Chains A and B, each alone.
Chain A
């Protein structure tokens, strides 16, 4: 079904996020630990292999296993274009869907209160 496909795409994104956030080469075991979810080692391996095929990550031999690293686009044009997107204002910012918009001082206070409240309520709950 559609949701299955999307979840797999979601896992690929999470793996890319883990590798990009770390910056260095990681073994499948390290990636699996950094994902913080209960995933089978083979699942992580499969995703890494697929990302490798797509050319989004590179791998090199590290001992008995492979170590994987996110491909960094060194192209100056891409970097400039991405900076331009991040700096987008007015019309251009209006066509992007951002995770969060700007906060007012009231919003900030209210959010801090809500956060404190949820953290107290969820003290016994581990963040998975």
Chain B
């Protein structure tokens, strides 16, 4: 059992360590998919493995042990998790989920009074801002201030970028990546990479829509500078880590479109699959452990 546990945890560490770097080498759409699905799969495998291991610990509690025909002494030998760490992690995770759900509901409430068309939401203000909401319809909200500051071709880039966010449900990919990071802090860097690949994905879609990469690059750079110079917004706090880095995005648009890299995708998929197989192996040996513990053992002091 401990070999399977060690292999699963080691491979999951390897995935968490390599995914951000490898993901940045891929074209943004496959990168987002493989990083998000991969980090969720690996995290789920980890939880499963730790749960099986934790069950060997729970099985030692006198009340629980009384229910089942196994020996607490035999189980204790396989017990590696301290109780306080598990409880602490569960509390932190629940707190994160509550906060994100509250934020999603608040956004949903804000959009409730909007008309039921899928059209652009224009807010009449001098502020410069544009974003896509994660609610069911996915609203693109833009200010008149920004629309007036941009040339027609630049507007097309910005709207195509946000439309890509909406059509590909980018807010949800990002939330899934953040969920994996909330469960397992080792995936924080991966979540940050996904925040970047999601923006790159929308950038590439915008460049394709206007069929001009340099126009897309210039629009991105100019809009970022305009918004920065006219911003009254205080620098973001801890969550600011998830804002994608704009100069890298501009440079990527000035370079030729990224090439497909099946080998890198294959490697990441293999790592994630290894974790699933590892978790299955742990489950099987966990069952065997309980069966083994059901046969009485005697320890005689020599």
Contacts and interface: CB of A to CB of B under 8 A. Distances in A.
B115 A95 contact: no
22 contacts: A9-B163, A13-B120, A17-B122, A23-B144, A73-B114, A73-B115, A78-B113, A79-B123, A82-B121, A85-B111, A91-B103, A93-B236, A94-B100, A95-B133, A97-B174, A97-B202, A98-B130, A100-B246, A103-B224, A112-B225, A114-B250, A127-B215
B109 interface: yes
B23 to A, nearest CB: 18
Give chain A's interface residue range (CB within 8 Å of chain B): 35 or more
Contact of A12 (B119, B151, B215, B235): B119
B30 interface: no
A100 B220 contact: yes
B240 to A, nearest CB: 6
B195 to A, nearest CB: 9
Contact of A17 (B142, B215, B243, B244): B142
A10 interface: yes
Nearest to B234: A89
B209 A10 contact: yes
A75 to B, nearest CB: 7
Interface string B243-280: 11111001100100000000000000000000000000
Nearest to A98: B131
Given A13-B119, A100-B224, A121-B214, A94 B170 contact: no
A98 B127 CA distance: 14
Nearest to B96: A91
* Chain B contact residues, majority secondary structure: helix
Interface string B69-108: 0000000000000000000000000000001101110110
A85 B107 contact: yes
B223 to A, nearest CB: 6
Contacts of B154: 127
Contacts of B123: 79, 82-83, 86
A103 B231 CA distance: 10
Contact of A81 (B109, B117, B148): B109
- 8 closest A-B pairs by CB: A101-B243, A36-B152, A21-B147, A20-B122, A91-B103, A81-B110, A100-B224, A110-B247
Nearest to B117: A54
B162 interface: yes
